[in-house]
Amino acid sequence: MAENKTKPTKESAAKFIDTLEDPQQRKDCKQLSKMMRAATGERAVMWGPSIVGFGTYHYKYASGHEGDIMIVGFAPRKNQISLYLTCDIQQMAPLLEKLGKHKTGKGCLYIKHLADIDTDILKQMIELGIEQIEQKHSAT
């Protein structure tokens, strides 16, 4: 069974955010960090070299693959911020319609700037994602 490549590290999430070149992205990531910490009650942890995550949960798929991953997180990328809400993004369709300018992937939400979206809707999505995880897995 393949081991997860994305694992928590000892690196400082705050220092990572402070090194972001784009001042607006740095400000957005600081706000996302506060928002996710408030929702999870967990401190920010670096997962690999570029993902800031909050909390952990253990998952196990029907295939037998299992591991630990963050409950929520984000990764600043060159042209956008990837949000990992660990939920079924498609189940959030009603909220996505109200969110503002964004794109979605299989399990990710992509935004350019927080100013492009309704952060109250994002907070609801984060909280719903946490609830989904707690219902499906034992969050720690």
Domains of the chain, each with CATH number or no CATH:
13-136 (3.90.1150.200)
Contact 13, 46 (CB under 8 A): yes
The model's pTM is 0.90
Q: Mean pLDDT in runs of 10 for the chain (140 residues)?
A: 76 97 97 97 96 90 83 95 84 92 89 97 93 69
pLDDT 10s digits, 88-102 = 777 888 999 999 999
pLDDT 10s digits, 36-59 = 999 999 999 999 999 999 999 887
